[in-house]
Amino acid sequence: MDILMKVGDIWVCRRASPDPAAIAAVSRLTPATVVTGASEGLGFALALRIAREGRTIVLLARTPDVLAEASAGLAARYPAATVIAETLDVGAVDAPDRLDRLLAQHGLYLDVLVNNAGIAVGGNFTDLDPEKLDELLATNIGAVTRLTRHYLPGMRARARGGIMNLASLAAFAPGPWQAPYFASKAYVLSLTAAIGGECAGEGVRVCAIVCGPVETGIHRKMNASSAIYRALLPSDSADRMARLAWRSYRMGRRVVVPGLVNSLIAWTIRAMPFELLLPIIDVLMKPRSNAVAAARRDGPLRPGRASVYGEWLGKEKGPGF
């Protein structure tokens, strides 16, 4: 695996031409990896994976108590890593400026950005709460766009660093009953792939992770626990998805669909015409009336946060992927 990483480094930097002034500007600062939405779910699993390398990592989330618990657990498990936690709504317009101040306060500069934070809403589009829709747009689209635009120029000037944006299989198709979420992930995928093309060979990794279903609380948050897709499509653990995502990012890949089953699903979706695809997705995504059975299958969302963090931390194995 180390060989693949080295080959990835060579490929990513094949046309790199760093600006000496840009490098000098951060020479006294420590590079940091920033993970948004890092207090739980896939964001926390990614933070665990990154912290194993002894990096300086900044965790951003909106819920102070959950974030503090995640930060403490991460620091205890990987004392070689420097862990900084900050409550921040990345969907706010001033989020990049606030993050700049936080990094400067700790003598850091942003080297790697993981745009994981996301909002999920589900149901009939005309019944959705307008405020929730605005929140989804601000987080899933606005935050990814603003943070990427704000930090990418410095990365390109230094010819190092990278951005990982979390998309979804939802990006490949319209999604009745989860229409705004599907549309937002299509935006993330398209934006990331295009930017990756613009930065190709400059020393900067730009990667879109196209996740399949992951066992986090997102399905229940969008009222999708009773949908047929939850019974038909296999779900990955957050830890496995984080492992595959981080490894692919390190290898310099641009668009990654982790897992064989997810890859097959992605190719199938992309090959089907909308006229055939839409009715299928409609059936798969529409909430069913028998939600009790689905709830039993999914289990509790979080049976006590401490137990969840303890379980994830305990499952972490030795070094490597």
What CATH number corresponds to the domain at position 140?
A: 3.40.50.720
Residue 222: the pLDDT is 63
* Residue 166 belongs to some domain of the structure: yes
Confidence of residue 223 (pLDDT cuts 50, 70, 90): low
* Residue 293 belongs to some domain of the structure: yes
Mean pLDDT lowest for which of 79-88, 141-150, 207-216, 297-306? 297-306
Confidence of residue 228 (pLDDT cuts 50, 70, 90): confident
Over residues 264-270, the mean pLDDT reads: 93
* Residue 321 belongs to some domain of the structure: no
* Residue 65 belongs to some domain of the structure: yes
Residue 215: the pLDDT is 75
Over residues 263-269, the mean pLDDT reads: 93
Whole-number Å distance between alpha carbons of 171 and 210: 8
What is the DSSP secondary-structure string of 43-112? HHHHHHHHHTTT-EEEEEES-HHHHHHHHHHHHHH-TTSEEEEEE--TTSTTHHHHHHHHHHHTTEEEEE
pLDDT digits (tens, 9 = 90+) for 279-289: 999 998 888 76
Confidence of residue 45 (pLDDT cuts 50, 70, 90): very high
What is the DSSP secondary-structure string of 52-65? TTT-EEEEEES-HH
* Residue 145 belongs to some domain of the structure: yes
Q: How many domains does the chain have?
A: 1
Q: How would you classify the pairing of strands 255-256 and 30-36?
A: unpaired
* Residue scoring higher pLDDT (291 or 97): 97
Mean pLDDT lowest for which of 55-64, 151-160, 219-228, 273-282? 219-228
* Residue scoring higher pLDDT (309 or 191): 191
- pLDDT for residue 148 is more than 90: yes
For the chain, what is the mean pLDDT? 88
Over residues 76-95, the mean pLDDT reads: 96
- Residue 106: give the domain boundaries: 2-17+27-312
Q: Which of 151, 181, 249, 309 is catalytic?
A: 181
DSSP state of 127: G
* Residue 318 belongs to some domain of the structure: no
Residue 300: the pLDDT is 41
* Residue scoring higher pLDDT (215 or 173): 173
* Residue scoring higher pLDDT (217 or 189): 189
Confidence of residue 221 (pLDDT cuts 50, 70, 90): low
Q: How would you classify the pairing of strands 82-87 and 56-61?
A: parallel
Report which of 1, 6, 2, 9 is spatially closest to residue 203, judged by C-alpha positions.
9
Confidence of residue 217 (pLDDT cuts 50, 70, 90): low
Residue 294: the pLDDT is 43
Is 229 in the active site? no
- pLDDT for residue 305 is more than 70: no
* Residue 59 belongs to some domain of the structure: yes
* Residue 164 belongs to some domain of the structure: yes
Which amino acid, one-letter code, is at 61?
A: A
